[in-house]
Amino acid sequence: MLTGPTEPFKNVILLPQTNQLLALYTIIRDQNTKRTDFCFYSDRIIRLLVEEGLNHMPVEAKTITTPTGQTYDGVSFLGKICGVSIVRAGESMEQPLRDVCRSVRIGKILIQRNEETAEAELFYEKLPEDIHERNVFLLDPMVATGGSAIVATKVLLEKGVKQENIFFLNLVCCKEGIDLYHKEFPNIKIVTGAIDSGLDTKKYLNPGLGDFGDRYFCI
């Protein structure tokens, strides 16, 4: 896992590699971790990713009056937020997003691999009608080759969402996935908690943490 500066990765925001974060990743990467613990600690990481994504939302100056009668010069967010999960694993990130952003709208995109061509193909999408007016958190826990994320992002762009208004949140990615994704969409920020060393011969993240969707929903 890369834990140093991310200067080689433009528009990649890596969570600070604190002892707390490394401990959380140690738990969810462990093959012996029970499903209940895997879900609990994954949710903690996802909330950190959402909070970091919010740090990069556009704001405007706002002055308010406190209960003591004093003024406070603060800020307020510009525009509305929408979460879009890549089904199925991305759905695991919906509740932590709701825990941080009250009444947030959620869209879904289903992408599956064509067994003949091995290419990722769009099967279903349901998105808010005004998504082109929103800042979008694209949700997918794992980014290996980036194929599904690329297809999902093309759907968002076709709906009128601007690249600079999309924030791609994931728990684990790798250089290969980052490079392929940013080759298509250089202006989209990737918010991640871990950058793995690469892909193995089966195109799995290394060291990875297994099939996130299976571990979160099934096992």
Q: What one-character-per-residue DSSP string does 43-112 give?
A: HHHHHHHHHHHHHTS-EEEEEEE-TTS-EEEEEEE-SEEEEEEEETGGGGGHHHHHHHSTT-EEEEEEEE
Residue from 30, 179, 200, 214 carrying the catalytic annotation = 214
33 carries an active-site annotation: no
Structure pTM? 0.92
For the chain, 219 residues long, give each residue's pLDDT as a single digit of tens: 444 444 458 999 999 999 999 999 999 999 999 999 999 999 999 999 999 999 999 999 999 999 999 999 999 999 899 999 999 899 999 999 999 998 899 999 999 877 666 578 899 999 999 999 999 999 999 999 899 999 999 999 999 999 999 999 999 999 999 999 999 999 999 999 999 999 988 888 999 999 999 999 986
113 carries an active-site annotation: yes
Cα Rg, the chain, nearest whole Å: 18
73 carries an active-site annotation: no
Residues 6+ apart with CB under 8 A from 33: 27, 41
Which secondary-structure segment (H or E) carries 147?
Answer: helix 147-158
Residue from 29, 88, 105, 211 carrying the catalytic annotation = 211
CB 146 within 8 A of CB 181: yes
For residue 212, give its domain range.
12-217
Indicate whether 3 belongs to any domain: no
Residue from 65, 66, 68, 117 carrying the catalytic annotation = 117
Indicate whether 147 belongs to any domain: yes
Residue from 113, 130, 179, 200 carrying the catalytic annotation = 113
| Tally of domains in the chain | 1
211 carries an active-site annotation: yes
In a 13 Å sphere around the CA of 71, the CA atoms on its Cβ side amount to 5
Indicate whether 149 belongs to any domain: yes
Indicate whether 2 belongs to any domain: no
The CATH number given to whatever domain includes residue 91 is: 3.40.50.2020
Indicate whether 191 belongs to any domain: yes
